[in-house]
Amino acid sequence: MYKIAVAGTGYVGLVAGACFAEVGHHVTCVDIDENKVNIMKSGVSPIYEKGLEELMQKNYAAGKIEFTTDYKSAYKDADAIFIGVGTPEQPDGSANLSYIATVARQIAETIQKDCLVVVKSTVPVGTNDKVEQFIHDFLINDVRVEVASNPEFLAQGSAVRDTLHAERIVIGTESKWAEELLVNIYKPFGLPIVSVNRRSAEMIKYASNDFLALKISYMNDIANLCELVGADIQDVAKGMSYDERIGSKFLNAGIGFGGSCFPKDTKALEYIARQNGYELKTVKAAIDVNKEQKIMLFKKASKRLITFSGLKVAVLGLTFKPGTDDLREAASLDNIPLLLNQGADIYAYDPIGAGNFAEVFPEGKNSKGSITYVEKIEDALDGANVCFIFTEWGEVKSIVPETYKMLMRTPLVYDGRNIYSIEEMKQAGIEYHSVGRKAVDREVMKETKNLELHNS
């Protein structure tokens, strides 16, 4: 087993560190935030990720993982150092590599034995060549150091499972020594390993993520057309899924993709193409479709209602997907400012992400409207004039159609995740709008209301 250091304790670094410890390696996780390190030492994960906290506690108690701000002691005698720091998007779409550069220099000025530096962060093609040269430029001791690429393919909400039971591990190296060391580190996982050169590994990451983003935007584009021609996107997706060339995953239409990967990686690859004098038309189209898709329900509701001013608006789900507290590129971040600017009184529910969202939009008066965070879905729906569903949490999916009818002042629901059956919502007397499916017939709604008045 190997002595491993991990730089960065976000989704990439912390999950990797915990999983390396789980298979038997000794791991030291490094972060510059002392408060964050103390939290992790107490057995608490700074991010919400299923199964992660249990792995941290188990392996910390066994002495297989530790957390520190002291990078010098962590790096000096490590067999391998994995870099998992952020590469945030810059205004022009390029990746900010400053955090990687900082860690690379720390490594160069600290290591005292032969060491493999492994970049797990998503970086533009060719970055690892520069990182290796950068380390050599600042290297103090006479040791062998090489850089390898090892992109991650985890999904937030299932990151631990995706790491321990990955479909494949991609490694990019430039020497037999680096390849053999990295293969041996991953040997305990018992997973298929795809070994390529560094630049191919970097491209595999972008190409994989952007292909999935393309599928999502394509299905959302088709969903919008389905509404216009009277087709049902769920039926269309089902028919497509039987074709093994297409597959069944990432065919669900909705209000666009978010998170830390797809939005950033599509923009970064499009930027790389432009820098090399090439236009990635397909990726650019995916970006454009996704941008419009996020606010399409708001636009629908705006046409239906005169104004949102003074209306109680229920918002169910704030995170970009269920199973995580991550808000990055979430549809709620695009829609809630629009609602607030029109004077809506928002009552928002999210089982995990409300605290994070409140840091961006504090409770109380915001712009022309206001926002209140509630712990129960029923409190959001009670007396609401309209409801938006942005995240398909299990708690939201468990609410039966009749609840909307019973609690809302006006049973008007805009579902961005196609949770409910159109027929069941219609039978419950709800005006229901989803994505890519037939809209509720308002004449049926009028007949239902007239019948209720006649029977009352």
DSSP characters over 227-280: HHHT--HHHHHHHHHT-TTT-STT---SS---SSSHHHHHHHHHHHHHHTT---
Give yes or no: 226 in active site: no
Say which range, 93-97, 217-221, 325-329, has the weakest mean pLDDT: 93-97
Residues of the domain holding 379? 296-455
| 263 and 150 both lie in a single domain | no
pLDDT (0 to 100) of residue 260: 80
434 and 303 in a common domain: yes
Kindly name the residue from 115, 226, 261, 387 that is annotated as catalytic.
261
Q: What is the Cα–Cα distance from 201 to 148, expressed in whole angstroms?
A: 9
* 3-state SS string for 319-388: CCCCCCCCCCCCHHHHHHHHHHHCCCEEEEECCCCHHHHHHHCCCEEECCEEEEEECCHHHHHCCCCEEE
State percent of the chain over pLDDT 90.
Answer: 89
β partners of residue 4: 27, 80
- State the pLDDT at residue 454: 43
The 3-state DSSP class for residue 415 equals: strand
**What is the distance between the alpha carbons of residues 131 and 447, in angstroms, rounded to a whole number?**
68
Instruction: Verify that 16 and 139 share a domain, yes or no.
Output: yes
Check whether residue 346 and residue 425 sit in a common domain: yes
Query: What is the pLDDT confidence band of residue 265, given thresholds at 50, 70 and 90?
Result: very high
Instruction: Tell me the C-alpha distance between 243 and 411, whole Å.
Output: 38
Give how many domains the chain has, as a whole number: 3
Q: What span, in angstroms and rounded, lies between the C-alpha atoms of 9 and 338?
A: 34
Judge if 175 and 259 occupy the same domain.
Answer: no
Same domain, 247 and 333: no
Is the pLDDT at 441 greater than 90, yes or no?
no
> Looking at residue 439, what is its pLDDT?
57
Final residue belonging to a domain, choices 196, 226, 241:
196
Summarize the confidence of residues 258-272 as an average pLDDT.
90
Is residue 275 domain-shared with residue 326, that is, in the same domain? no
For 379-393, the pLDDT digits (tens) are 999 999 999 999 999
Domain boundary among 139, 161, 196: 196
Domain CATH for 357: 3.40.50.720
Strand partners, 145: 115
Tens-place pLDDT, residues 269-297: 999 999 999 999 999 999 999 999 999 99
146 and 30, same structural domain? yes
> Do 366 and 231 lie in a common domain?
no
Distance, in Å, from the CA atom of 421 to the CA atom of 442, rounded to the nearest integer, reads 17
Query: Which CATH number covers residue 221?
Result: 1.10.1040.10
Clarify whether residues 229 and 333 are in a common domain.
no
DSSP state of 295: T
Cβ neighbour number for residue 30 with a 10 Å cutoff: 27
Amino acid found at 25: H
Average pLDDT over residues 255-263: 89
Give residue 443's pLDDT band: very low, low, confident or very high (50, 70, 90): very low
Q: How far apart are CA 318 and CA 356, in angstroms?
A: 9
- Provide the residue type at 324 as one letter: T
Shared domain for 48 and 119, answered yes or no, is yes
Domain boundary among 237, 260, 293: 293
Kindly report the pTM of this predicted structure. Answer: 0.86
In this structure, the answer to whether residues 233 and 331 fall within a common structural domain is no
Nearest to 156 by CA among 397, 325, 317: 325
